[in-house]
Structure 1
Amino acid sequence: MSSTSPLLEVSGLTKHFPIMAGFPFKRQVGAVQAVDGLDFTVGAGESLGMVGESGCGKSTTGRLVTRLLEPTGGKISYRGQDITHSGRKELAPVRSEIQMIFQDPYASLNPRQTVGKIITGPMEVNDINPAGGREKRVRELLEIVGLNPEHFNRFPHEFSGGQRQRIGVARALALNPKLIVADEPVSALDVSIQAQVVNLLQELQREMNIAFLFIAHDLAIVRHFSQRVAVMYLGRIVEIADREDLYGNPRHPYTKALLSAVPEATADDQPARERIRLQGDVPSPVNPPSGCRFRTRCWKATEKCATDTPPLVQISGSREGHLTACHYPEESQVTDLKKSLTA
């Protein structure tokens, strides 16, 4: 990442959804702690992958960053500007630079509008008139994402799922964004189409220097696309590092368990990788465990894990920028390699 200040900086980001009960006067009886104290940055032109089990708060984080949801606490800074609780007028110039690609290409496009109208919409809202007119720009965008410019007047139902997602990508590009939040952009697509869409996004990132917050549950796709990866568990980031370091040297027990579940092709004479099977279910975000939230399923948990919340810091044996939130981290494979070389 660049040594200059990051494009996006998030600190202590929190989102609690209130639970209301009672009749006729409803009152708050609890809260779903969807996101609880996230800290991360995204540099200009960088892609940060965000992985974790369903319900860990990844999509909520994406909607908080784009300000589709109002944060309960914490701070979101974009290009040095605090946009945490900015109003509509203050957000207007920022919204054009932060765009989103949604998970479901069938639900994210208006079936009553033509492709041209869908992609032109953001330009109309932001009163942008590109050189040569909006229709010319839309046709250019369709060509950029691999679609026929002549499809300008077609409706979404005339396209396949992969083509619809390309339309969603074109819509996100309409305002020349600096940051795109991609919320599981390929999980609803056929496996044969996923690679095409991911490669398209990678190409756009390189050519246009767009930063990505890439949210997904497929660890192989995240490794292919993202330069850094953040691992989430029950509303918190438990580990964040460069992709090669995180996949090759996981320090948090949850990360190690998560990576052990990835299918791996091995030769007949090579031992298969150990599969770690976690016990129990993910606790409810309404009443998460005290201390470390992973402790109820962790094989290393002690009383300290129940009383002290581990901070997200660089621990002994980790490379610079490799942060882990664990009192009893896994052995560093980097350290082990150094020991074997000096033995």
Structure 2
Amino acid sequence: MSEILVAEGLTKHFPIRGGFPVKRTVGAVQAVDGIDLTVRSGEAFGLVGESGCGKSTTGRLLTRLLEPTAGRIRYRGQDITHASRKELAPIRSEIQMIFQDPYSSLNPRQTVGKIVSGPMEINGIAPPGGREARVRELLETVGLNPEHYNRFPHEFSGGQRQRIGVARALALEPKLIVADEPVSALDVSIQAQVVNLLQKLQRELDIAFLFIAHDLAVVRHFSQRVAVMYLGRIVEVGDRDDIYRRPRHPYTHALLSAVPETTGEGGSRERIRLAGDVPSPIDPPSGCRFRTRCWKARDLCATDTPPLVRADGSREGHLSACHFPEPPTVERDTEVVLDPALS
């Protein structure tokens, strides 16, 4: 399977300006800080982590809606890191985005037909049979009534609005779609419908997906490979089964321990409770950024940043950024609690 999108050392720091009377840069929010990421053609790749860890910023960097501070982005072998608007024009149609909030991502003054046909008009695409016929076809593809072509967004429910966003993303027949928490703003009863729709489209149209979410169950259902992000950095990458059954990084282990048991299987499972808050991205910890909340932290963790490499005993392609990776199991006998006084 060939690589469609590759990020190397991708970084985005947002400057903090202060001072009087002249505004000057007094610091930076290190939203994304040197991540490596590879999305393969036709695969569903999940990116998970806590709120504020930099997932959405990563998605906007990869679609070039934000200008990277440092690093490199390659799309199908072409370096697009600092490509101009003119240079990006030929590939804009191949990389699309589904936004988190279906209420604010649609123009309330435009009809559904205008919203979905907009990308075709901007790119000068005239499909066979006309744009209206293509829009009606797309609406049917995402499970909406083609007769709703002339309706406005306020006439639809949240789930239906997100389907309109999906139809808009499909209008230009993209090769890659970045879905930024596409179901987090929806009612739980509607989430499964939208996720199943995206999964169906991903398989049938052979579209590569970068699926950004904080819901581990949704990511497990949708994605083939998963990357775990913490405070601007990726701490673990691997196949879905490896990540969920044999997590190596303590943070991944803690995340999965919080997922409710739904299988009905017997036996006890470790419950890891992380005390304290996530450190500020303005002044993150030195070395490993998870060390202030990690029960395995040592002096080495404070001085050396752990590289994202294959851990001993892991399958090929399972990478972890930890000096002391977990054993390849999620089973433990005791509850681990990190005392706030130790952090």
Alignment partners' CA distance in 2, 1:86 and 1:53: 31
- Among 22, 27, 35, which residue is 2:24 paired with? 27
Alignment partners' CA distance in 2, 1:98 and 1:131: 22
Query: Conserved in 2, the CA contact under 8 Å of 1:266 and 1:272?
Result: no
- For 1:257-312, what per-residue CA distance to the aligned partner results, in whole angstroms no more than 9, with x for missing partners? 00001011364x93332210012110000000000000000000011000000000
Q: Which residue of 2 aligns with 1:114?
A: 111
Q: Which residue of 2 aligns with 1:250?
A: 247
Alignment partners' CA distance in 2, 1:142 and 1:332: 45
Aligned residue runs from structure 1 range 1-343, under 5 A: 2=1, 4=2, 6-265=3-262, 267=264, 270-333=266-329
Shift of 1:47: 1.0
Alignment partners' CA distance in 2, 1:43 and 1:250: 22
Query: Conserved in 2, the CA contact under 8 Å of 1:48 and 1:229?
Result: yes
Shift of 1:23: 2.0
- For 1:43-101, what per-residue CA distance to the aligned partner results, in whole angstroms no more than 9, with x for missing partners? 11011100000000000000000100000000000000000000000000111000000
- For 1:241-261, what per-residue CA distance to the aligned partner results, in whole angstroms no more than 9, with x for missing partners? 000011000000000000001
Alignment partners' CA distance in 2, 1:332 and 1:113: 52
SS of 2:309 mapped into structure 1: coil
Q: Which residue of 2 aligns with 1:338?
A: none
Shift of 1:22: 1.2
- For 1:79-138, what per-residue CA distance to the aligned partner results, in whole angstroms no more than 9, with x for missing partners? 000000000000001110000000000000000000000001101111111011000000
Alignment partners' CA distance in 2, 1:185 and 1:243: 19
Query: Conserved in 2, the CA contact under 8 Å of 1:17 and 1:31?
Result: yes
| Residue type at the aligned position of 1:281 | D
CA RMSD of aligned residues (A): 1.1
- For 1:14-59, what per-residue CA distance to the aligned partner results, in whole angstroms no more than 9, with x for missing partners? 0000000012210000000000011010111011100000000000
Alignment partners' CA distance in 2, 1:30 and 1:187: 31
SS of 2:13 mapped into structure 1: strand
Alignment partners' CA distance in 1, 2:249 and 2:186: 31
Structure 1 residues 266, 98: closer, same or farther in 2, change over 3 A?
closer
Query: Conserved in 2, the CA contact under 8 Å of 1:11 and 1:74?
Result: yes
| Residue type at the aligned position of 2:299 | E
Alignment partners' CA distance in 2, 1:265 and 1:130: 46
Number of paired residues?
A: 330
Identical counterparts, % of pairs = 80
TM, length-normalised to structure 1: 0.95
SS of 2:274 mapped into structure 1: coil
SS of 1:7 mapped into structure 2: strand
Alignment partners' CA distance in 1, 2:95 and 2:189: 29
Q: Which residue of 2 aligns with 1:339?
A: none
Specify every segment of 5 or more residues in structure 1 that has no aligned partner in the other structure, as ranges: 335-343
